[in-house]
Structure 1
Amino acid sequence: MKNLYFFILLCLTSVVAIGQTEGITYQAVLVDNNPDEIPGVDVPSSNIPDQPLTIRFSIIDAFGFTEYQETQETQTDAYGTINLVIGEGQRTQESSVNFNQINWDGPKTLNVDIDLEAGTNFSAFSSQSLNYVPYVRHRNLVADGITNLNSTLNVNNQSTANFDGDVNIDQVLTVEDEANFFDRVTIDAAMTETDQANIDAYPLQVTGSNQGMAIQLNTPTAFRSNNFISFWNSDDEAIGRIEGFRAFTTVDNGDVIDILFLSEPDEDEAKDREDDDNAPPAEAPAELDIYATDTYSMDLLLEIIDLYEASAAFGVNLGACIAGVGVAGDCDDAVWTAFALYLRGVQLTYFVRYNETNTGVAFESGGADYAEWLQKNNPNEIMSFGDVVGVKSGVISKNFADAEKFMVISKNPIVSGAMPKAEEEYKFKKVAFIGQVPVKVLGEVEKGDYILPSGNADGMAIAVHPDAMRVNDYKRIIGVAWESYHGDELFSYINTAVGINSNDLVQEISQMQMVMNQMQEAMVQTNPSYVPHYFDVENVSLSNTVQTTRSKTMQQVVMQQYGIDGNLTTQETFSEINTLIHSEAMKNSFFDFSELPYLDEVLTNPTEENVAQYTAFYTNAAKRLRDLVGGN
């Protein structure tokens, strides 16, 4: 009699985890539907113990494709039962993914096949829907209430975890790979450590590399209006920044001309403004705003104004030349103003080129001096900002009445050098070397007064007018007062420029030289054979020579460098200048003289009509642009 065997599915449960293995528990009983007959006993069926067999599990997706398939060889126990974990078997070639890569979104079907002949003759046993998806295998999990995870949450297989709301993390967040943030990151950390010398006092720490932090802006050119880092206090006041260091240098003279004359008022409006003495300056067009982004860009606009004014001056002098002796004659003013026009264009070119090739960052701060840490003579001596200190061999003290130099304790330097170790900082103090710094000054002060130590070794200073200075005072100068004070306070903090008074003895030396000249004059009168050696002094030059060393003018340098003969006619000189202009345009790409309207026509064909048109154009352009800048 043929025996028929079948499985009774007893249990299909959730995921188990054994070491690194995950799967679905599966339990069944092998039953013989044709058991041996026993006289007098009704035996409908019996379990089959110790039976070897092969099980094949197939997980089918919603489209009927086999997503995963495996086989397992097993044996029933003494009660005919088998206990398996789907996921621990031998994956077959029919599988499209591994078990841990199954996408559990959507319906799944579990097909079970059995084989009692060593895996060569499988028979279908069951096919049933998987209505319960293992919880750790969910791809889309919707929780309408609070969800508590009492263990680790792992997102595997390079999958993505998306959060549409806030994520609160009360413990340490560890990210072992790159982290990308596409919106603002705010760190609001209440640090228990506050010592600036302790790294744990800082909410943001960058460690683990030989490099620190890189900041990249979304602009290829960082102007002064582009800040890499800005510093704010708790009152939301900006107190410093590290900004781009590059001017607006995209020079297009045509754009400036268009801005000028597209915004030019009509004739009636211009006349009304001219007749009204109280009329406000004309409002600058919005297109000029790009030049007002920083001081360097504004300087560029002022360079363009100088160029236009030089052009207008050249036109005026050339017009006078034509009306007088004519271009063929001697028109020195026209020639020199033509050179001046060329030089203004060259200076504009150099200005732009320098800003194009010298880029970087600038540090902006409310501090106004550069300071260095200098060692105190007595580590316990108390010093505060504004105190005057004497310096001897790099050591400072308020008690030095005589010193090599007198300086002042800085309040808020923009940069501090020679920083000591934290544990030795009490032995040092920041001393202003150059810039502006407040100084404690006794009595009244006038702008321009010299600030000297009081002479009492008390850390105070006094103000002395330049006319009241004595020779021995000059070596004691701390700086020059840049503000006045006429109050009745015992002392005041005076903004003082330090480190810039390098020519203060000029007046004293000049007076000494004048006296020596007078003495030599007296010696000549008593001894005619005496040969005097006079000094050139202010306003008086007994030797009839120049009083200071001077260079050649830029026009003379140009003529010498390019071999231009000073005896050429005006027309010939204009031709040489025109050659220089075209040569300059070929040497650089920052500014082209051909952008100046009417210039080429005037240089090659200086008729009265061409000169009049040229002069009117640049006179109007220079005035219009200067008015707009003034009104801006």
Structure 2
Amino acid sequence: MKKLFVFAFILFASIKLTAQTDGISYQALILNPKNQEIPGQDVSGNIFPNKKLEIRFTIINAAGVVEYTEVQSTMTDSYGMINLVIGQGAPSYGVFTKIMWDGTKKDLKVEINLNGSYTDLSNQALLFTPYAYHRDIMATGDLLVAGKVGFSGDLIVEGTTDLNKSLTVKNGSATQLTGSLDVDGAVAMNNAVTVGGATSLKSTLTVDGAMQVNNSFTVTGPAVFNDLGVRTLNVKSDNSAFVATFENQNGGNGDGLLIKLGRTHGAWNGSSYLNIENPLVNAFDGQINTVKGWLNGGSFSPIQLLNLMPATFIAGAMAQITNSITSSINDGLNLPIGFDAVVVPKTLILPEVEIFPGITMPPGIPDIPKVRTPKVELPSFEILPAIPNLIPRIPNIPTDGLPNLSIPEIPSQVVTNSLTKENQYVTFQDKEGRTTGTIRAQSTKDFRDNTILDNVYVLNVVASFTGIDLLGGIASGSAQISNLTDRFNKLGVEYSSGNGDYAEWLERIDQNEYLSAGDIVAVKGGKITRDLSNAEQIMAVSHHPIILGNTPEKGKSFMGNDIAFMGQVPVKVMGSVQSGDYIVANSKIKGYGIAIHPDKMKAEDHVLAVGRAWDNMPNEGPKMVNTVVGVHNGDWAKIITKIEEKQKLYEDKFDKIEATMKILDKKADNLLLIDQNN
């Protein structure tokens, strides 16, 4: 009899678990709908062998909602059979591994596509949970397992898990906790522990083996680490005492704290440390030993102290200082100045003049030529000869045989892969993350930038040689040069906090005006200049600000300078200074100030004051003075108080004069009355 369906294909189908894979095994025999069954006869043409087709599986829950759909392309074998695993096809809806097998009814709908469209093949109930091993387990009550439980897949616990006995993870397998793990008792970890998220330990943690922490590790109680290796250690505490204590209980030569960075020492050239010779050590060797003897209980007189400075050094220093000054004068005046020879140039007195133009005659008759008067010239001649050296250069004082007190040559060699000031060993910040200081590495370039290439540093060295006391100046300058040499030979780290000033970038009025650190400037309309006329405010150019505001747009920084608004800043000053003096802009020497004692300050001086000196520098000449700027210290209140005191004094005097005038007026009235009565 002929089939009633378009495709009545299913002769046999089975569904079972595939334990080794994620899926349900599905088998079916596909029959050819065009052939008829003949009772008692085998009709080989009924099967549908070696045919390509598509099968669509749909899993529907008890509420009739589709949970999963997939399509698989396959081919029947020579017997018309297909063998598929539901869950390994191309899903068009849902995820097979996320189907919740919670024991409720589910239906499996099967469709077949032979000629471009799908036709229902079957729709049958799955009356059992298709897994002998469950991916997801939902237990609304207690789950009691008397025997061993083996998890070959993932175990996901959404709620709290209480482990009243030991938890053992064997076979070297990793255990990952992405949520919280609360342990009230002791935990012994004999091998590696990897924690991907936050871990809070409220009791003792004993680790005998290596422990790797890739994320935050919070310890609320005391912790002892005998050997701790971490990528980043962040210690936070709300503690009135010390946050961290590093104690080495070794009774010998044990050390404290070792910090290493991943580059090479700034002065290590690969085989030795860069070094420069101190030019003053040998020269002052005798004097140094003499002073050592005095410091060890000896006695000395003032004349012995004065005689310590070798005469050759005094002569050498004076000669070099004088030569430096004369060289500046020669260059400033463009000496030598001379005159070229005075020469009268060739002069034309009478030009050539044509008197008669000439006549062209007929053929056979000679032409009458032109008639010209010759030109008359006065030849060139020298009136005064050249004087090449009318004002010669000022000659230098010979320094042959005299010691050299110049700044030593600092090597410019840059070490390969050198540590630099960008490598910070320790950084100090406030609670908002503003850097207040650092302990950082140094390279030879950093050292040069901070010393011989720093105008402020060089000016201070020069200032050490100046002053009324010649001997003191030479000794001070020599010490500066010796200290520079010693600093280079100990190059390694620097302790940096700037000069403690807050600065902002301000644009210059004249882009071509050159301003450098320490210059005193006037502010006009938010721009700066050394011209003090009509100044709205007096400020100073910052050296190394610890905080910089009003950062200019990229490519415009050269148009302005960093100006100190508040804090300590080195300021250029001419003349001696005492701590507490006002530093007042000097209109005669642009960029420099002078020191004025508070008792000698006038109203106009306050208008030009940039701040108050925090240095004692009695030497004359130019220098950099540490000056506090932008800090209100009651100066104007003191001035107003003085004005009020004077005003009160004037008012008291006026009251006395007024009282005297009243007495005199009354006496005058009495005299008039007496006169009238007589």
* Bigger relative contact order (CA 8 A; separation at least 6): 1
TM-score category, normalised to shorter length: 0.3 to 0.5
Q: Identify, as 1 or 2, the structure richer in helix.
A: 1
Q: Highest CA radius of gyration, 1 or 2?
A: 2
